[in-house]
Amino acid sequence: MPLTRLDLRGVAAHELAAALPRPAVEQSFPSEAVRAVLDEVRLGGDDAVRALTRRFDGVEVDTLRVPQEELEGALERLDPDLRAALELAYTRILAYHGHEPGPVPDFENDGVVVQHLVRPVARAGLYAPGGRARYPSTVLMCAAPARVAGVAELVLCVPPGPDGTIAAETLAAAAIAGIDEVYRVGGAQAIAAMAFGTESIRAVDVIAGPGNRYVAEAKRQVSGIVGVPSAFAGPSEVVVVADDATPVAWAAIDVVVQAEHGPDGLAWLVTWSPRAADAIEAEVDRLVATSTRRADLEATLGSGGYIALVDGPAQALDVANVVAPEHLELLVENAAALLPLVRSAGAVFLGPYAPASVGDYLAGPNHVLPTARTARFASALRVDDFRTHIHAVSMDAATLARLAPHVAAMARAEGLPAHAQSVVVRGEP
């Protein structure tokens, strides 16, 4: 199945945005369908969640919450090698997020003291996809920054399988991360339940985690009712930049990797070498034809698979910045030299020995990344997504007396006499 070819040679940087296709998810937000689900859960609570789970997942779930002993049992039965890998990954993710910048020091200016208070949210809702694949790694990625932030209660929603259960690997990861509550609920109804609350699921303060376009759209619609990181964490994306020196097999498998997640994603190969384009495309075709996930690969590559021929490295990065991909792989010689040209990407992987798969699991930085071109203004999930910042102002009488005339003048100019009086009255005998 050939990838869609785009010959961008000679296209000026300012013309690229118009020349490139826009993400399918950006063109067709399922706004009305998602709004109907949100309203149904907001009004119907647990009964609505069960009905929607029956409708969308094809399974009858009587008890939404997964018992704690089921998590612990899944962990005990887990393959020892997988358990060691999950525990190593969680340790590395925790270490990275623990390294993020801490509280801002207090500030003093001419008698005015401003203290900077950082407070975790009380209760965070996490979402890990299910259905086509299991994602214990996403559980770890969402839980680690929330734990570093100091969130007291972590709630996880995961779509149930056909038998109403959640994959043991996912439950084991929840046990490793110390998740407080796990619910077998997926889709937009899970986002609605965490945002509005139901009889079984108490409302949360923040919702984080990737999902399909319905999950991402649901988070967009409840933003403001709960905190939602600004990224549209939807279907997976990759841009692989390659040249004649890039091993063909390495570039091809990295194009295919993110397409494994299923439809609506993007997989781009960008190169200035027609020879590399031909060879890598042929290898992609071979990989797709022999994959156990062939249907998912064909769905993604058929609608969102591209090969872009460009004039050279600079134009390749111009293209990447317009696509603003979730993952950007620079599989070229001296990849670090191109890093200053990167403006918009969720995460960048430099050189042949740093594939995005390592970032998906245990490099340390988060794999919950912006998609659908939201990397233009949004970033990977981080500790601050689970915290609020509060400033506390103090001053003495002398400082207020010195500043009061200026405050009063500004307040009167805005037609707010009570504002002016609030400082004036403090200076009266």
Q: Which residue among 326, 333, 367, 389 is the active-site one?
A: 326
CA distances from 310 to 114, 247, 373 (A): 52, 19, 20
Residues forming beta bridges with residue 66, ordered by sequence position? 182
Q: Which residue among 327, 333, 367, 406 is the active-site one?
A: 327
CA distances from 387 to 117, 125, 153, 182 (A): 10, 13, 13, 22
Catalytic residue flag (residue 391): no
CB 152, CB 122: distance < 8 Å: yes
Residues forming beta bridges with residue 349, ordered by sequence position? 329
Tokens 């049992």 -> residue:
73
CA angle 188, 137, 270 (to 5 degrees): 85
DSSP string, 368-387: ---BTTGGGT-----GGGGE
Sheet with strand 206-208: strands edge to edge:
65-66, 181-183, 153-157, 123-127, 206-208
Write out the H or E segment, with its range, that includes residue 154: strand 153-157
CA distances from 49 to 42, 61, 256 (A): 10, 9, 35
DSSP string, 314-345: HHHHHHHHHH--SEEEEESTTGGGGGGG--S-
At residue 31, φ and ψ (nearest 5 deg) are -60, -50
Catalytic residue flag (residue 326): yes
User: What does the alpha-carbon distance between residue 301 and residue 284 come to, in Å, rounded to a whole number?
Assistant: 10
* Residue spans of alpha helices (H) in 167-324: 168-176, 187-196, 213-222, 248-259, 274-290, 294-304, 313-323
Catalytic residues: 326-327
